[in-house]
Chain A
Amino acid sequence: MEECTKKTVTAWGPSLMRLTGAGVALTTVLLGSAWAQDQVEIRIMAVDSYAKSWQDNLVPKFNEAFPNIKVTIDATTGAEMLAKMMLDAVDPNPVYDIVLADDPWVPQLAEIGALKDLKGPEIAAMTDPGYDWDDFNATPLAAGEWKGGQYAVPVRSNMLLMFYNRELYQKAGLPEPTPALTWDDFFEQSPKLFLDTDGDGNVDAWPFTTFFSRDVLTPTIWQTILNSNGGQLLDENGKPAFNNEAGVKAAEMQKRLIEIAPPGALGHGFSESLQAFRQGQAAVMFTWGSVYKATALDATISKVTDGKLGMQTLPVGSVSGGAHRGIWNAGIMAKTQHLEEAWTFLQWLTSKEGEQVNVSTVGSFPARKSTLAGEPPQEWMRPVFATLQQAYDVAAEGKMWRIRSPKSDATQQIQADEIARFLAGQATAEEALNSAAQQIEGVLE
């Protein structure tokens, strides 16, 4: 009998273990599938320059608070991004729930009904009472507005700013620039900023660099000069108002900048000018503020580290200093099947707390007044915050942004073509601006 029991136990032992194992496995699968059923995936289309960094750093922070919302961020190249967004928006079953749109794209997307109004009743009903719309600076928030609707919210603010190399200014025996620096001061000082830093008898550092190549962002320099002198691209009737003396003066001033830039500057785009500045080959650079962190801190790619880098708004014209708005906004696609989850993510990201996380984890520039007025999470951000607030104010005063229209990109391309013709000496400033005005008027009609 005992033997029999032993045999029975021996025979049943493995079976019991198998049964228990199967039970545990089944329970895990069931629980897993139940959890998977609860988890909702939202997809975001973002530009490739920061999509991965957001996926790796921001999304895990969000999932600490909202583990049941899976966020997938797809990287897309900037050049075709608008067309892809529009194509997805008209699809009966769009892939994306949220899109990250560049500054001038919101009118184009809103006009075709691609985006939800974030202040509309549907989303307002889901919005946390503590979510403070009024805390946003008006300048970045306006990038997401179109015809009275708020179709997107700033998630990565950027401004065209003036970077300067303190070491080169010291070597030239010049005072460090301040936001009160005028264009006249700048050009007056520039001859002293042609420097031979290694003493071999050849100039190896030049006064200035920026992007001059035939690109849609190149006219933003011209426009900023125009705006700081009180000029505007369009008049109150929406007609071109730049083909005049003020426009010509601004264009000629932009061309003057080439004369104080390193050899080959006319062919230099964003990357080449940034490289020249980081290698200590230019005392001043006009570029987008978002490159500040790597330029100021990363000694493996920049020689302007250890406090050598300064940043401020562009020189003062006859009316004000200069800046140009370049806000990346996030909007929710009108056909999303996951509106609640999409707004949960976006609301978290752009809330006061979320913006702090966005700033501290991936170094995005903030748009909220409270963030800019508060204690920066990292020391390097202190000068950035001060300059950014100043730039928002200057941009608001001079309406320093690209044309707000569903045809904005087309008008920008025309400016790029014509300004490039002028800078290359293929047309006079008057010819280029008249041609641009004529084409832009046609496009806006």
Chain B
Amino acid sequence: MADLTVSSARPARTVATWNKLSDLTSRWSFMLPTIILLTAVLAYPLLYAVQISFSKFDLMTFGPGDWVGFSNYIKVLSDYRFWDSIRVTLVYLAFALPIQIALGFGIAYVINAPWWGRSAVRALFIIPLVVAPVVAGGIWRMILDPLWGLMNWVLGLVGIPALDWFGDPNLAMATIVIIDVWRWTPFVVLIATAALLSLPKDVFEAARIDGANWWQTLWMVALPLLVPVLAATFIVRWLGAVKMFDIVLASTFGGPGKSTVVVNLFIYQEAFRSLHFSESAAMAIIVLVLTMIITGILLGLSRKLEDVQ
């Protein structure tokens, strides 16, 4: 009897192992094309950039030459222009992201109320999203030009003197933030609208019965329920905003002075204008690592917020 149990258990284990193996194989076989594709288009360029960042770039072969260790990183970290570009990027992020999130969710909350033009307004909000960043930068450059731009003319109608949008360092940064907010707030509005629509109606109904006013409903009911979506949206926008490049290139060229030289513009100029590919690769890797660390922190915070919920 005991023998019978043992002999029947063995094939059962074999079958279980076989099934497990087969399951694993089929799962990986589904994932394999994606893995190959991602390796080809993401991992290879990334590893190549890492290789270049540790090499002297050989212009004769247009590829990585001698291994130079961390010297490119040391050179970059001691370049004041790199740190200035990081500072400029952080200033831009510090203004652009909160404004987009606040404005996006605010607009979504307002247009979420049922009224006759809601659908049309939602559709109009998509327009800035489909405008190419370079075109957006060029259009805004024309609008804000102190000599013939529309904006100063409009400001003049209400008695505000003409502003030198691209000549004043602070206003130039404001210009970049304005263009970016114009372009990306609709994206936040779309996400926020979907999130608001998915909120349970009975909670709002209960708040209404309890006598909550508009502000109390927003602050004490809607916002706490929206926190996970807010956090996720912030992270998505953070990952998009940290890549800021084309709008700056098309509108201010990084000027005046160094006031809008975001880090990606600096990396691009060092690589494709100065042909300092090794130093540029080192900067790109540093930015990648910093972005990953900050994204990790943001994700951790987001999870904590969800747990609190």
Contacts and interface: CB of A to CB of B under 8 A. Distances in A.
A264 interface: yes
Given A79-B273, A264-B147, A421 B167 contact: no
Nearest to A276: B147
Interface in B41-59: 59
Contacts of A215: 253
A420 B256 contact: yes
B208 interface: no
B105 interface: no
A255 B72 CA distance: 35
A303 B225 CA distance: 61
B275 A108 contact: yes
Interface in A81-109: 82-83, 86-87, 89-90, 108
B256 A113 contact: no
Given A214-B257, A424-B257, A264 B269 contact: no
Contact of B252 (A79, A262, A267, A414): A267
B273 A267 contact: no
B274 to A, nearest CB: 4
Contacts of A422: 257
Contact of B259 (A87, A424, A443): A424
A264 B145 contact: yes
A410 B167 contact: no
A425 interface: yes
Interface in B113-155: 145-148
B272 A80 contact: yes
Given A417-B258, A420-B255, A426-B257, A265 B274 contact: no
Interface in B187-216: none
Contacts of B172: 267
Contacts of A111: 59
A82 B165 contact: no
A424 B273 contact: no
A83 B275 contact: yes
A264 B60 contact: no
A267 B258 contact: no
A108 B164 CA distance: 39
A427 B59 CA distance: 34
B257 A423 contact: yes
Contacts of B59: 86, 108, 111-112, 406
Contacts of A414: 274
A424 B256 contact: yes
B204 to A, nearest CB: 48
A79 B272 CA distance: 7
Nearest to A91: B62
The main secondary structure of chain B at its interface with chain A is loop
A402 to B, nearest CB: 13
A368 B169 CA distance: 45
A364 B162 CA distance: 40
Interface residues of B, number: 34
A281 B275 CA distance: 38
Contacts of A89: 62
A83 B256 contact: no
Contact of B275 (A113, A263, A276, A409): A409
Contacts of A86: 59, 62, 275
A267 B257 contact: no
B12 to A, nearest CB: 60
A421 B276 CA distance: 21
A425 B257 contact: yes
A269 interface: yes
Contacts of A427: 257
Given A80-B272, A409-B274, A413-B273, A267 B256 contact: yes
A381 interface: no
B275 A410 contact: yes
Contact of B164 (A267, A410, A426): A267
A266 B60 contact: no
A276 B275 CA distance: 34
Contact of A413 (B146, B255, B257, B269): B269
Contacts of A279: 148
Contact of B167 (A80, A90, A267, A406): A267
Contacts of B62: 86-87, 89-90
B303 interface: no
A167 interface: no
Contacts of B272: 79-80, 82-83
Interface string A296-339: 00000000000000000000000000000000000000000000
B166 A267 contact: yes
A281 B147 contact: yes
A252 interface: no
B61 interface: yes
Contacts of B61: 90
Interface in A262-299: 262-269, 272, 276, 279, 281
B254 interface: yes
Nearest to A272: B145
A426 B172 CA distance: 14
16 contacts: A90-B60, A213-B252, A214-B253, A214-B261, A263-B146, A263-B147, A264-B147, A267-B164, A267-B255, A269-B253, A272-B147, A420-B254, A420-B257, A422-B257, A423-B257, A426-B258
Given A79-B272, A422-B257, 11 more contacts: A86-B275, A90-B60, A215-B253, A267-B145, A267-B165, A269-B253, A276-B147, A413-B270, A417-B81, A421-B258, A424-B256
Interface of A: 79-80, 82-83, 86-87, 89-90, 108, 111-113, 213-216, 262-269, 272, 276, 279, 281, 406-407, 409-410, 413-414, 417, 420-427, 443
3 closest Cβ contacts across the A-B interface?
A267-B166, A424-B257, A264-B146
